[in-house]
Amino acid sequence: MKYFFTFLTILFSALNLFSQKVDFTHIDFQKIYSTSKGEVFMPLGEISFADKVTYFKEGKPKALPAYTKAKNALGAPDFTSYPDSNCLSLGCGGVLVVEFKNNGFIDIDGPDLYFFEVGPSIEAFKVEISTDGKNWITIGDTSGGSSYVDISSAENGKEKTIYYYIKLIDLGSFCDGPTAGADIDAIGAIGGVLKVNIDASLLFDLDKFQLKNKATETLDNFIIGLNKIPKAKIIIEGHTDNQASHQYNEKLGFNRAISVKEYLIKQLKANANNYTFDVKSLGETQPITTNKTSAGRQENRRVEIIVIPDKDFYKQP
């Protein structure tokens, strides 16, 4: 139905369970989407939307089965008009948790999120956000009828926090009919940041930090996307499995991140001055799956790139 894309935390896991290869030659940023309430500007375009449902509990009463397919809340909006079933009805008091895998979101000037709430009536829901899907911050609710949400109340420091999870809890304002509860077509990040996860085997030989020849194809594709963001902060993180000492893993992860940074700067040429780079190694400390299997360890060996656009990128042209 909808396609989602990966872009940021280190380049981008071209072929991986948890990320997909994105051809950035065909990705348009700074797109406008039409809704029944007017037009909505999405700075990251097609990459602005939630990618994965991590939890869904239908409320009571439930919506009809045609309206309870959780995947219909993912990706770009594609609802046409009622009774189109290309949306997810939460049911009265239902709960939905989604994850942004190809992107994340931060607090910017103005609204940061937009909920494409559709259907024959507008139902309110509570909004919570999280960096890890475990610890939640309540932002507020949409009882006033607005689909825009500002997350500034969650910020308490100078550094921008990047969030990756959103939880919606239907408030039971409309519990009748075939589409009981809030009807969600898409969940978009206006304050979006790009996140790319790249399997280390696409870039490096085992225990090495020199880029392989074939790594250029993956990185060059990423640069095509990066060139569409004229100015940004780029965070490059090296991650490993747990098969060596912490000191060894930390050094390997850092050297790999440096290799990626050096390649990007070389290829960007004069445009490299438009970007600031933050290189770090997290070694084995942030696995995304088990280290008890070879497949799991392979997935944990990765480079993640996060691109935080300059504030001007978020302004509608």
**What is the model's pLDDT at position 9?**
35
**What is the model's pLDDT at position 11?**
34
- Choice between 37 and 305, residue whose per-residue pLDDT is larger: 305
Interhelix angle 215-226/246-268, rounded to 10 degrees, is 60
* Dist CA 11 CA 4 (whole Å): 16
246 with 239: CB under 8 angstroms? no
Q: What is the mean pLDDT of the chain?
A: 90
Mean pLDDT of 63-82: 94
Q: Does pLDDT of 58 surpass 50? A: yes
Q: Which CATH class is domain 194-314?
A: alpha beta
Q: Does pLDDT of 15 surpass 50? A: no
**What is the model's pLDDT at position 2?**
42
Cα dihedral sign for 161, 126, 315, 76?
Answer: positive
Mean pLDDT of 12-38: 70
Give the Cβ contact number of residue 167 at 10 Å: 21
The pTM score is 0.90
Tens of pLDDT, residues 230-277: 999 999 999 999 999 999 999 999 999 999 999 999 999 999 999 999
Dihedral, 53, 105, 234, 252 alpha carbons, nearest 10: -40
Tens of pLDDT, residues 119-161: 878 899 999 999 999 999 999 999 877 899 999 999 887 788 9
The topology (CATH level 3) of 44-190 is Jelly Rolls (2.60.120)
Domain residue spans of the chain: 44-190, 194-314
**What is the model's pLDDT at position 21?**
60
b/e 284-317 (16+ beta carbons within 10 angstroms → b): beebeeeeeeeeebbbbbbbbbbbbbeeebbeee
Under the banding of pLDDT at 50, 70 and 90, the label for residue 7 is very low
- At residue 67, φ and ψ (nearest 5 deg) are -105, 15
Tens of pLDDT, residues 80-113: 888 889 999 999 999 999 999 989 999 999 999 9
**In the chain, what percentage of residues exceed pLDDT 90?**
81
**What is the model's pLDDT at position 156?**
80
